[in-house]
């Protein structure tokens, strides 16, 4: 068995493992549309305690297997964002060592939680570890941008404001731990369809919003809630048109006395509710699960 030069043996042999946390857009303001059709946005992004899990076995040939509840929807072929990210990286840096990836797909697919983007970012982190590259390596960054608009922010998985189409990243923000319930009504939505529903002409800019999109670095929970209360998710309206269950999920969360704020994440259909502590969030999840047993609901922390 050959051991690759930058590989640190782990208790599980030579398997390298990365978590791929769900991404949550705490706010999302669409500020315009570029001439090429991509939308410009400003979004405060945080990452959840729940997510997928990706492992890499460097002693096997390049490949991918997928297990878990989202395996069928995510697909295990060349279109999977894990392999897309690896190919984008290897095209920029021929000669890199790869291996066999295994994805445990726990997150709902096409859900506004950036699951595929987080998997792609986890694949790039595994490749970086295996080949001794930094996450700031130009090839890693370029591969992230080429794989998808949400991949750059998922690379280090730290809360921050993202702008442009997701390619401009503000420095990481020290956010207090937030306690959330994520609710997906199991209506997959294609991101492109939701953006299209905004009906914004290519090459137009919107009036800038004067509200700050992010709370101050290191501030407390109540300040975060105050900033978020003045923010919004501009994709909520078009997403609700495509999936009326979103309005139902938001109404259910807002009916819970301990829910401080409820909003949609990304392009939907997942919505999140914020609670004061983990017990309140657990009670919220139980109430949602009792009301809608077929929906996906998780209590988790965000940071």
Ligand X SMILES: C[C@](O)(CO)[C@H](O)COP(=O)(O)OP(=O)(O)OC[C@H]1O[C@@H](n2ccc(N)nc2=O)[C@H](O)[C@@H]1O
Residues annotated within the binding site for ATP are 108-118
Number of H helices, E strands in the chain: 10, 11
Bond prior to 275 in cis (omega within 30° of 0): no
Q: Which does 75 bind (CB under 5 to 8 A by kind): ligand X, ligand ATP, none?
A: ligand ATP
Token output for 13: 């042999």
Whether 234 sits among the annotated catalytic residues: the reply is no
CB of 240 to ligand ATP, least distance (A): 15
CB of 144 to ligand ATP, least distance (A): 13
Nearer to ligand ATP, 7 or 41 (CB): 41
Kindly name the residue from 119, 137, 150, 234 that is annotated as catalytic. 150
Indicate which single residue of 195, 272, 275, 295 sits in contact with ligand X (rule: CB under 6 A). Answer: 195
Indicate which single residue of 76, 166, 273, 284 sits in contact with ligand X (rule: CB under 6 A). Answer: 166
Map tokens 């076995």 to a residue. 57
Cα 61 from Cα 76, distance rounded (Å): 15
Binding segment for ligand ATP (CB under 6 A), chosen from 11-19, 55-63, 103-111, 174-182, is: 103-111
Q: Which does 39 bind (CB under 5 to 8 A by kind): ligand X, ligand ATP, none?
A: ligand X
Per DSSP, the three-state class of 169 is strand
Cα 155 from Cα 135, distance rounded (Å): 7
Instruction: Classify residue 101 as left (phi > 0), alpha (psi -120 to 50) or beta.
Output: beta
Torsion angle, alpha carbons of 201, 264, 168, 53, to 10: -130
Token output for 143: 């591969």
Report the interface residues with ligand ATP, using CB under 6 A.
Answer: 74-75, 79-82, 109-117, 119, 150, 191, 266-267
Report the interface residues with ligand X, using CB under 6 A.
Answer: 25, 28, 38-39, 41, 43, 114, 117, 148-150, 165-166, 191-192, 195, 266-267
């Amino acid at each position: 068995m050959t051991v690759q030069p930058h590989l640190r043996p782990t208790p599980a042999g030579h398997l390298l493992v990365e978590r791929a946390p769900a991404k949550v857009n705490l706010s999302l303001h669409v500020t315009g549309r570029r001439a090429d059709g991509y939308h410009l946005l400003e979004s405060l992004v945080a990452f959840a305690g729940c997510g997928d899990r990706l492992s890499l076995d460097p002693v096997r040939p390049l490949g991918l297997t997928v297990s878990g509840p989202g395996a069928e929807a995510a697909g295990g072929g060349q279109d999977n964002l894990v392999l897309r990210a690896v190919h984008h990286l290897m095209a920029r840096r021929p000669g890199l060592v790869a291996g066999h990836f295994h994805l445990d797909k726990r997150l709902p697919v096409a859900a506004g939680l950036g699951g595929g983007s987080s998997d792609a970012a986890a694949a790039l982190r595994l490749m970086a570890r295996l080949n001794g590259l930094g996450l700031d390596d130009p090839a890693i960054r370029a591969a992230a941008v080429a794989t998808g608009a949400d991949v750059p922010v998922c690379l280090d998985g730290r809360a921050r404001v993202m702008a442009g189409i997701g390619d401009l990243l503000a420095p990481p923000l020290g956010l207090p731990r937030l306690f959330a319930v994520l609710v997906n009504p199991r209506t997959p939505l294609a991101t492109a369809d939701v953006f299209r529903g905004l009906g914004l002409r290519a090459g137009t800019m919107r009036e800038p919003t004067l509200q700050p999109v992010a709370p101050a670095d290191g501030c407390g929970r109540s300040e975060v809630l105050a900033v978020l209360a003045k923010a919004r998710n501009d994709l909520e309206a078009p997403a609700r048109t495509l999936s009326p269950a979103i309005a139902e999920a938001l109404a259910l969360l807002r009916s819970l006395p301990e829910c401080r704020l409820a909003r949609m994440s990304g392009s939907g259909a997942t919505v999140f509710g914020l609670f004061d502590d983990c017990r309140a969030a657990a009670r919220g999840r139980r109430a949602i699960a009792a009301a809608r047993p077929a929906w996906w609901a998780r209590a988790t922390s965000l940071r």
